[in-house]
Amino acid sequence: MRPRVFVITGIIILAVAGTVAACGDRATLPLEAGVGPSPALPPPHPTLVPTVKIAAAKGWPADAAPVPAPGLRVSALARGLDHPRWLAVLPNNDVLVAETNAPKRPDDGKGIRGLVQRTLFSKAGASVPSANRITLLRDDGHGGVERHEFLKGLTSPFGMALAGDSLYVADTDALLRFPYRPGQTEITAPGTVVCDLPGGPINHHWTKNVVASADGRTLYVSVGSNSNVAENGLPAEDGRAAVWQVDAATGAHRVFAGGLRNPVGMAWQPQTGALWVAVNERDEIGSDLVPDYMTAVRDGAFYGWPFSYYGQHVDERVKPPHPEMVARAAVPDYALGAHTASLGLAFSETGSLPASLTQGAFVGQHGSWNRNPPSGYRVIFVPFAAGRPAGEPVEVLTGFLNGSSEAQGRPVGVAMDRNGALLVADDVGNTVWKVTGAVGSGSEAKR
């Protein structure tokens, strides 16, 4: 009888998944209303069944590519990777690519609701086993790219940062240090644990990122929440929804800034030296809420999660309420649109891009699941002036979404190479894209 039970259960799950996918609300505001320093924040619109609109992972047809903005050219730096999510560019212009996916998380999303969510999200490629490696890409000097297995045997690696002769890698459950020699194409030495990071059987937001201070003595690690809005209880959120400050020598750490639901991309603003972070906000209170954002994080600041959003807008779902925490909540600097899943963050540099794209930040928007119609699935540029956002975002790469139901690709990490070109990790397209100016040759040659 057991096989029959499994079949019936499977049919029920698929039926429920289909019902969930067809229910929920629809955005009443244009996406642009939730973008900028003062986004529109309409009343919450929770529904009995969450809005679910997931683009199935399809991949790119042969020789297809995202659509660049006028004046830009896009080429494939490397295809055929295994879920490339994050990038780091070394001083010699070698590119490190974290090929990674979620670890096993047996306690994340238990019950029928969790089962349905896993069924739906598997369409988006979330169930693919993690390659658990870092690959090195190097220009071979002849119009091609060498590919080397740089580090292997990791545990859902994500962030990478070079400081002096040490390479730091943020695994899902530990910050690791490896010895690094300029030009090497493989690290075989074992990593040293600098400090443990929150992992465990829930590990809801599993990606951990790391950047280093200019002198390399201090590391900053982003750690996402263990839930949407603390539905697993506040004890499960200990040390999470925060950016940590870590002493590189001793591993001693503290929360640098908190209340950040899922901080992922981090980058230093060139003019001010401030640390900026891209943050994914909460779900399931309507297609128009809550905008993801990027903000300069201040030492000791609290940004509201889970008690409030975008400053002091109370989330009534969180029980018991904590008005004293809401009163502390800082307002983020710049909204990036509701449910866009803004992950990648990199400040531009002078090089092979047009001058209009050399003062500001690039943001990789992985794409929504909880908005109808979908949002994100693009790379944007936010212009800056005097170290602050100054203007409307500009679309840099689009075409990742084929209609509204299929994803040819999904941008995650973004980085600038040493020639000033923009690199984009596409985890559904299994490609690292390179964006340069449309006029010229050499570094812009199609690979």
367-386 pLDDT per residue, tens: 999 999 999 999 999 999 99
Q: How many CB atoms lie within 10 A of CB 220?
A: 24
pLDDT of residue 23: 61
Rounded Cα distance between 66 and 378, Å, is 9
pLDDT of residue 395: 98
pLDDT of residue 9: 37
The model carries a pTM of 0.93
Question: Binning pLDDT at 50, 70 and 90, where does residue 14 land?
Answer: very low
pLDDT of residue 121: 63
CA angle 210, 418, 60 (to 5 degrees): 75
Query: 58-444: which CATH architecture?
Result: 6 Propeller (2.120)
CB 264 within 8 A of CB 224: yes
Q: What is the helix, strand, coil percentage profile of the chain, to 5?
A: 10, 35, 50
Question: Binning pLDDT at 50, 70 and 90, where does residue 111 land?
Answer: low
The DSSP secondary-structure symbol of 182 reads: T
- Which of 124-128, 287-291, 306-310, 321-325 shows the lowest mean pLDDT across its residues? 124-128
Q: Collapsing DSSP states into helix, strand and coil, what is residue 370?
A: coil
Question: Binning pLDDT at 50, 70 and 90, where does residue 2 land?
Answer: very low
Distances (CA, A) of 44 to 53, 54, 303: 19, 21, 19
* Between 18 and 91, residue with greater pLDDT: 91
- Which of 41-50, 61-70, 308-317, 437-446 shows the lowest mean pLDDT across its residues? 437-446
**Does an H or E element contain 122, and which?**
none
Rounded Cα distance between 381 and 361, Å, is 6
**What is the secondary structure of 259-286 as a DSSP string?**
--SEEEEEEE-TTT--EEEEEE---SS-
Residue 150 confidence (pLDDT) above 90: yes
Q: Collapsing DSSP states into helix, strand and coil, what is residue 10?
A: helix
pLDDT of residue 231: 95
Max distance between CA atoms of the chain, in angstroms, equals 69
pLDDT of residue 120: 61
Residue 444 confidence (pLDDT) above 60: no
* Between 49 and 114, residue with greater pLDDT: 49
Q: What is the mean pLDDT of the chain?
A: 92
- The alpha carbon dihedral of 97, 381, 74, 436 has a sign of negative
**Does an H or E element contain 232, and which?**
none
Rounded Cα distance between 175 and 161, Å, is 11
